Chain A
Amino acid sequence: MNKITYYGILLLYLFAGVSCEKALEDRPLTFVSEDYIWDDTDATGNYAQNFVHKIYSQLPTGYVRLNGVPLEAASDDAVPSDRNNATWNVINGGYNPLVPFDNNWGNSYSAIRKANMFLANYQKVPWVDPNIPKWLAAEVRSLRAFFYYELIKRYGGVPLVGDKVFDSNDSELFQIQRNSFEECVQYILSELDAVQDDLRPEETLASRGSGNGTTEGTDADAGRIRKSIVLAIKAKVLLLAASPLFNASATPERSYTGYAAYDKERWKAAANAAKVVMDLNIFALESNRYILNTTRVNKEFIFVRYGASYQNTYGYRMSPVGYRPGNTASQGLVSPTQELVDAFPMRNGKSIKDPTSGYNPATPYANRDSRLDQTVFYNGMTWLRRPVETFENGLDKPNNGNVNSGVQTQTGYYAKKFLANDANNTAYSSVMYHQSVTPTFCLIRYADILLSYAEAQNEYSGPDASVYSAVEAIRQRAGLTPYQLPSGLSQAQMRDIIRNERRIELAFEEQRFYDIRRWKIAKETYGTTLHGVRIVKNANNTFTYTPIDVATPYFNEANMYLLPIANNETLVNPNIEQNPNY
């Protein structure tokens, strides 16, 4: 008996000894390490390529990115229809370092970090095709430059981190300072220049779509950075640098807010850069502007963000609230302002303020620039086989809390930009995407380059023939007759025309918000009362149009031309100076 029990104890101890063996799984076996991405056996570099895709995914996505509405809802072009939309905070001036707005700091530096990681590691992959690593490295450096452009357009000069990948306790991280605006521009340009010849071959103009208004082009690499895109980015950067906000800075003692002194040659550089893109002869204006809404490869798009945040719900989001195709209620999220509507000329090319234009306030939407129909829903316009009713108690302004939770137009208008031409359809077309094709947001298109050229050249040398021809190309495509501008315009007159042309041609494409800052006109155009229209349907089926005040946005010239840097960023590294007067 005794022996047995002692052996029993021994066995228990043995058991204890045996089971002390360490389990081998000390980390998730599904773990993907850095070595797996930069795999020295992966001859096609699949994961390294995927790493680059992720950088592309941080490009701006556009459309309804701001509390469900476009960025323009915080400009003089529109307001959110919903009075409870948080964008009203911005309109009322509620942004500051504590409550930053359009904050792209973290996103840009995160993309820059990824770019630097790629550059540090991609050569570990045994690329079988030597072109791929060359192209990818050049794409990544171009993207990095573009993200710096996104930063300087908001904040002015920012810290340039070079090829550095920071560690969380890196002391430099807590000491780094903002570079001057000039240094940032120099860095972006030098990067773009350095890589422009190492990129994928260009597509021809012929392959960018048939031009008949429906067919998608055949570019298999659409969205990838090419030399033409690098040149276009360069034109945008130089235009920004030449603009009044930075050339010259109002606070020259702070080098990150712009150049110390005005230099006219900056306009020349900007004009030249745009001209280089025009001279490539691989882009053109699409004769039918609707094609821009339904294709991702066409003659006009230069740089697209390949893949946007949502697909075919845009029609429901934007259409007037009375529409319920497929029994899904529309949301009418955006109310364009009267100011935007008034910016569209008459079809004869004359401003509605011109007494000879033929504008009749009783039929305000008749005979207008066709781009108005492509940009704004107005009362009486045909949509899905019925007239839009934004008159009081009409289907699309019902004044009824039970329709769309009471959300309806604030201005008498809804935004239509990017929607297909569905006036006579019964439901919304699939817009901005084709079945099984990823949707896109266009970041730079040819019309933008033409207008950039016109703007810069006009500032440099006045309205010469090349300026006329660039602007007239836009007006011609828009269907204005006549599209020609009056000859003998002064530089200032031409400036106004170009600015107005940018506003209406590029409406809701994330241009206006920055343009009014770049030109330093936001105080007069945006920091003032914005209007809408109250429409009453009369017994004889005519309408009475009465202007109404919609909002008086708060705009402080002392600081708001540049956006605030989030407070935490300047708090944890006091060397990062906040923008002036925040």
Chain B
Amino acid sequence: MKLMKITLLFAFLLISCNLYSQELRTINGQVFDEKKTALPGVTVTEVGNVTNGTTTDENGKFRITVASNAAVLNLSFIGFLNQTVSTRDKTNITVTLLPDAKGLEEVVVVGYSTQKRITATGSVSSIKAEEIKNVPTASVQNALVGRLPGFFSQQRSGQPGSDAADFFIRGVNSINGDNRPLIIVDDIEYTYEQVSQMNVNEIESISILKDAATTAIYGVKGANGVLVITTNRGKVGKPRINFTAETGINQVIRFPTYLDAYSTALLMNEATVNDSYGLSSPITLPWTAQDLEMFKNGTDPYGHPNVNWTEELLKKTSSQSRYNFDVNGGNNIVKYFTSVGYYSQNGILKEFSPQNSEDAVNSNYFYRRFNFRSNLDITPTKTLKFRFDVNGRFETVNNPGGVLDANGLFKELQAFRATAPFVMPLTNPDGTYGYANQSWGNGYANPITRIANGGYRRTFRNNFNIIVGADQKLDFVTQGLSAKVNVSYASNINERRWIFRDVNLLPVFFYNSFNDTYSIKNAGNYKMPNFIQDSRNEAFNNTTTIQASLNYARDFGNHHVYALGLLNQRSYTNGGAVPVNFRGITTRVGYDFKQKYLFEFNLGRNGNDLFIQKYGTFPAVSLGWNVAEEGFFKERFPVFDLLKLRGSYGLVGSDNNTPSTILSEVQYNLGGGIPFGSGANEGALVNPFITWEKEKKTNIALDVNMFQGKFSLTAEYFYNYRYDQLWGQGDVPLLIGQDLPVSNSGISENKGFDGIITYRNNIRDFNYSISANASYAVNNVIYLSEAPDYPYQAQTGRPLGLTLGYKNIGFYQLEDFGENGSVLPGVPTPLWSTIQPGDLKYADMNGDGLITTADQTYLSKPNLPTTTYGVNLGLSYKGISLSALVQGATGYAVQINAEGSDAFNSNLRPWHLERWTPATAATATYPRIGFNTNINNISWQTVSDFWFINASYTRLKSLELGYTIPEQWLGKVGFINSARIYGAGYNLLTIRNVGKFQQVDPEIASGQGQAYPNMANFNFGVQLSF
């Protein structure tokens, strides 16, 4: 309300006071760069009277009226040094702006505003989207990998449409696991999914905000860091039309390899012998010598098949293409940027024809994305600017329908019970398909017929956003003041359509190759079953955001002052859940003296209506000292363009990990199925005082620019202390008789450093740059409510995200057993099963001679790296340019289990050959194999660090070679302004260390290793502008 009254007042003031005059002079001018090219869009203002200003038109011309002969003009333009020009006795002036070689005027985007490198006191890493535009990947975050210090990521899957990397800023620091940063696109909050769908072509710049100084204004949402994206907006000038077309291929980086039928059968017999250990009569071997012979020589391809299902079902490459079209331009009144893009990526399934040709549908994996954006700026008066942005994305993600479960094809291809090499022939002699009919098989139909006839599972994602805003300069109230309002509405609707058949009813036959007979799996089921349709809404959410702000910035001699006050409200409705409202005010006050002594104070006061105590206060203070601006330093060390020490300290919050509802009283549960019918009972106790997590962030950094901008360096140290984390109460007696609520009790810390060092120079026309960045973050649990039985079972003092399990200390060896085959006294054994030589042996942590759950401890390392680094190389010579990025990560572990690793749960792989046998006891790297393996050796039933591998990798993440066609060649086709052709690659080379699981991708998520394989992408493209 108050805000409204002020605005009313301002509006009247403005109308009544804009006409007064003196002896007026009109100055005409034109602005060029050093190459004599006219510069449109340069801001021209009268010094001392900033309300009097204009911008140059598409020919670099401007006209300004000044009141006095002594008037001085200030010209500023991004990428160029500011310049002041006297208008004394002139009516026509020509100005040449010099480029900002030192990079000090370089602007980075921070929360709700921008800052110059020279005066920034917070921690920001930033990149221009131009640099990553041609990286051939669908997701923005994949293109950012290795480029921004403090950005941690892992690409978990290569599936078209689902290949976006997980990313975190400065590692993770929440014991509850949701460490996702806040994502802000044009001041509006986006989800993780939404940002991965953005078209890089629409983006202008990307920043990550890392410390309290930069994130405190986001208050309760800032603790995980913030990713800020700004999109392209129109620039003054003639319409510039850009068209980019790319096409390329995706290639599987590495397929898992499997043993063939003969080797598998041999090992299956060996496993059966092992399983007979201690039995009075051994189990019958599954394969006779004759069987083995037939596997070996392939004389009975139907009865004793040898099929590599991965090779039969998948191809190594698929195709992708990308098209972008945008128009950008404008004048002093209207500026526009419109763009449309199309992205398509296909999957690696081979084509199989369905039994009935009219059933042919595209069941391959694929991803299609169409996106559009129109950003419009209208400046009806010199002081007012409107903004109308409309953008949206429409995506289709396709999966095959006939797989055993929705994300299961790659799991099936690993699973022995589904796709052992001899589980069934590729096809029967008469062209029909078989099924996994062995006693150990899972009974399912041949995957080819399931995929060929199984339809598809398709998801449609629709995403619409509208932003409307106005920005009014209020210099008449006080110079440097402006007011801004943004209103946005964003909506996500995901629908799915599945067309599939019941895979259990497909007509499949077992072919007996001895007597040449067929038997059907389901008696009488000769007919292909009907398609079934299933459509459903998978996601619906909408967000309304309203922001109103007052901005102030002004110079008083050597003193520069700026301030921001912002009111922010966001309402979020997600499907059927209770709507969540977020509201807050944000203020920022900054001051610097001669750009030498820097001070900034940020304060967020905001909250979320989930909580009883809805609002919290999040202050941060930061200071900077530009040593290089000191006179004594400038004299002695003129090579320094910038030498700045800065630091920040403040408090931020995270509401990511709060429950979707916080109850002030206990909820009662009603339900049936108990004695006498229905029941009613008290639910878990509640803690109505649940509040958000909080983090105290400390940041100390050094910024250096030297040699006229050729060399730059930023190095930062951080320490984040996160407290009030929600954690269950592990220290309350069960005697209470009820489940307990979580409380704000957990504490953890995360510390490390990150930095970037860049050198760029040129030898005549040969430009080169090299830039290296590294990020290191380690975390540690300081306190959580637990009552561990043994110190080695405490989570306190260990990194976040560890798994509890047994410590492997090798294998049980023959000498551990007595003559009767039982374990010798004194050798610790588990009680869960009978141990035999070659079984995995675990450490008896408590020394009681038994392996029990009391011997479990926290194992290995988390699945997220502690260290990531990137080295970026750029070369250009005349029209030729080359850029390369090498990226790597280390300090993490990958655990592969179940179908991904266990013999006969998984299809046999090379590492199973390294099994324990009496002969290989000294060198074995895998336990003795078993078919009915006891749980001691099963990775998911007895979790141990045997299945964890310390991983690391270095990748040639991206490479781009481009050639800009010389203008004289284009002369013949007059309408083309410029043309560039290029080739780009992604994930081109990998040096990996994944221990015994060398076949998995080093970025894989711990688990069954069933992800769609990561892909290397190669693109060839043409960029034209008109």
Contact = CB atoms under 8 A, between A and B. Distances in A.
Interface string B816-836: 000000000000000111100
B548 A16 contact: yes
A170 B931 CA distance: 53
A34 B272 CA distance: 59
A12 B7 CA distance: 11
B308 interface: no
B485 A98 contact: no
A32 B581 contact: no
B852 A32 contact: no
Given A28-B578, A173-B735, A5 B380 contact: yes
Nearest to B664: A27
Interface stretch (A280-288, A367-375, A399-407): A399-407
Interface string B382-415: 0010100000000000000000000000000000
B101 interface: no
B310 to A, nearest CB: 27
A121 to B, nearest CB: 10
A572 B731 CA distance: 5
B470 interface: yes
B661 A572 contact: no
Nearest to B933: A84
A534 B281 CA distance: 12
B387 to A, nearest CB: 12
Contacts of A307: 674-675
Interface stretch (A47-55, A251-259, A461-469): A47-55
B738 interface: yes
A106 B485 contact: no
Contact of B789 (A32, A56, A59, A567): A567
Interface in B229-277: 272, 275-276
Contacts of A110: 737-738
Interface string A147-189: 0000000000001010000111010011010000000000000
A573 B569 CA distance: 46
Contacts of A438: 675
B470 A23 contact: no
For B272, B283, B681, B789, the residue with the greatest tally of chain A CB atoms inside 10 Å of its CB is B681
B667 A31 contact: yes
Given A5-B381, A50-B670, A405-B932, A569 B279 contact: no
Interface in A423-438: 438
A53 B675 contact: yes
Nearest to A108: B737
B736 interface: yes
Contact of B14 (A6, A31, A402, A573): A6
Contacts of A111: 737
B515 interface: no
A28 to B, nearest CB: 6
B676 A36 contact: no
B558 interface: no
A2 interface: yes
Nearest to B609: A26
Nearest to A576: B733
Contacts of A400: 283-284
A204 interface: no
B487 A32 contact: no
Contacts of B831: 88-89, 92, 94
B481 interface: no
A174 B736 contact: no
A19 B852 contact: no
B881 interface: no
Interface string B563-594: 00001010100000011010100000000000
Contact of A168 (B7, B11, B729): B729
A111 B609 CA distance: 35
B665 interface: yes
B380 A1 contact: yes
A98 B667 CA distance: 32
For B567, B676, B682, B932, the residue with the greatest tally of chain A CB atoms inside 10 Å of its CB is B676
Given A12-B487, A23-B579, A114 B681 contact: yes
Contact of A6 (B11, B734, B740): B11
Contacts of B832: 84, 86, 88-89
A105 interface: yes
Contact of A117 (B579, B675, B682, B731): B682
Contacts of A34: 665-666, 668, 682
A380 interface: no
A28 B661 CA distance: 7
B380 A569 contact: no
Interface string B868-883: 0000000000000000
Contact of A50 (B578, B665, B680, B854): B680
B548 A13 contact: yes
A56 B674 CA distance: 8
B569 A20 contact: yes
Given A2-B15, A401-B275, A571-B787, A13 B3 contact: yes
Contacts of B664: 27
Contacts of B487: 12, 15-16
A58 to B, nearest CB: 9
B853 interface: yes
Contact of A53 (B472, B676, B834, B932): B676
A354 interface: no
Interface in A411-469: 438
B663 interface: yes
Nearest to B579: A23
Interface string A22-64: 1101111001111011000000000110110110110100000
Nearest to B610: A26
Interface string B628-671: 00000000000000000000000000000000010111111110
B833 A16 contact: no
Interface in B4-62: 4, 7-8, 11, 14-15
A16 B485 contact: yes
B485 A9 contact: yes
Nearest to A308: B675
A545 interface: no
Contacts of B685: 167-168
B681 A54 contact: yes
A53 B678 contact: yes
B688 to A, nearest CB: 10
A370 to B, nearest CB: 32
Contacts of A401: 272, 275-276, 283-284, 931-932
B592 to A, nearest CB: 31
A27 B14 contact: no
A17 B281 contact: no
B270 to A, nearest CB: 14
17 contacts: A10-B7, A27-B661, A28-B667, A33-B665, A53-B676, A54-B680, A57-B679, A96-B854, A98-B789, A168-B740, A223-B676, A224-B676, A399-B279, A399-B281, A402-B283, A569-B735, A576-B733
Given A9-B483, A89-B852, A117-B682, 14 more contacts: A9-B472, A13-B3, A13-B548, A14-B4, A16-B546, A23-B609, A84-B832, A92-B831, A109-B736, A113-B682, A305-B675, A306-B676, A534-B280, A568-B789
Interface of B: 1, 3-4, 7-8, 11, 14-15, 272, 275-276, 279-281, 283-284, 380-381, 384, 386, 439-440, 468, 470, 472, 483, 485, 487, 544, 546, 548, 567, 569, 571, 578-579, 581, 583, 609, 661, 663-670, 674-682, 685, 729-738, 740-741, 787, 789, 831-834, 850, 852-854, 931-932, 934-935
- Which 6 A/B pairs are nearest by Cβ-Cβ distance? A113-B737, A401-B283, A50-B680, A57-B674, A54-B679, A89-B831
Interface of A: 1-3, 5-6, 8-10, 12-17, 19-20, 22-23, 25-28, 31-34, 36-37, 47-48, 50-51, 53-54, 56-57, 59, 83-84, 86, 88-89, 92, 94, 96-99, 105-106, 109-114, 117, 159, 161, 166-168, 170, 173-174, 176, 223-224, 305-307, 392-393, 399-402, 405-406, 438, 534, 566-569, 571-573, 576
